């Protein structure tokens, strides 16, 4: 089987890191603006009758830095949580849908899978829908052939029950049954089993 390249998945693989980088940039800009605002604060309007005490830069900058870092961490954490929930929703939702669909398939209920446009695993759902359509068509053909074979068997029985047995008619029915059985074997031969 030919191995496919993951070109279609590049967009998905890059979405999460790009969103994290955007959150990081926004958090950095906001915390930088807050830090700049603290650093540019005026200490008073008038120098008259004031007493100046010289303090180290650490006494003024450390609280500003801690506040900026706290704001940065808070914004980045909230953004990361939001993006993680959104991305996991786009994966977990379709997987749950596929799980319930396959349970229905197991019970013989076949239908196509429809996902939201931005959900992941779209290619998987499309391939599954193609498989289900093929399987459904083959099951329908097999059922029609089975019904046709049953009718032929009943017809052969009725020809055998007549006083004057129609060997020519029975032989024709036998050929038709063989042809139908070959078609049925061809349909069922497409599926490999253990």
Centre a 10 Å sphere on the Cβ of residue 65 and count the other Cβ atoms it contains: 15
pLDDT digits (tens, 9 = 90+) for 87-136: 778 778 888 888 888 888 888 888 888 888 877 788 888 888 898 888 88
pLDDT above 80 for 55: no
pLDDT digits (tens, 9 = 90+) for 154-168: 777 777 766 677 777
Binning pLDDT at 50, 70 and 90, where does residue 183 land?
confident
**Alpha carbon of residue 192 to chain centroid:** 27
Binning pLDDT at 50, 70 and 90, where does residue 3 land?
low
Characterize 30-43 residue by residue with b for buried, 16 or more Cβ atoms within 10 angstroms of its Cβ, and e for exposed: bbeebbeeeeeeee
Report d(CA 160, CA 133) in Å as an integer: 41
**Alpha carbon of residue 54 to chain centroid:** 63
Give, rounded to a whole angstrom, the gap between the first and last alpha carbons of the chain.
19
CA distances (Å), origin 111, targets 81, 134, 135: 35, 12, 11
75: left (phi over 0), alpha (psi -120 to 50) or beta: alpha
Report d(CA 130, CA 110) in Å as an integer: 12
Report d(CA 27, CA 69) in Å as an integer: 10
């Amino acid at each position: 089987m030919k191995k496919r390249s993951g070109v279609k998945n590049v967009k998905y693989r890059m979405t999460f890191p790009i969103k994290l980088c955007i959150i990081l940039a926004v958090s950095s800009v906001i915390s930088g603006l807050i830090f700049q605002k603290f650093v540019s604060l005026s200490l008073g309007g008038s120098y008259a009758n004031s007493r100046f005490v010289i303090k180290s830069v650490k006494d003024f900058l450390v609280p500003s830095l801690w506040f900026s870092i706290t704001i940065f961490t808070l914004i980045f954490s909230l953004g990361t949580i939001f993006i993680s929930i959104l991305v996991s929703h786009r994966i977990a939702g379709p997987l749950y849908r596929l799980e319930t669909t396959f349970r229905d398939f197991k019970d013989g209920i076949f239908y196509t899978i429809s996902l939201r446009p931005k959900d992941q695993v779209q290619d998987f759902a499309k391939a599954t829908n193609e498989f289900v359509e093929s399987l459904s068509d083959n099951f329908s053909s097999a059922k029609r052939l089975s019904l046709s074979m049953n009718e032929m068997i009943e017809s052969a029985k009725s020809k055998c029950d007549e006083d004057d047995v129609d060997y020519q008619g029975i032989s024709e029915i036998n050929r038709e049954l063989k042809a139908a059985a070959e078609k049925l074997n061809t349909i069922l031969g497409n599926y490999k089993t253990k």
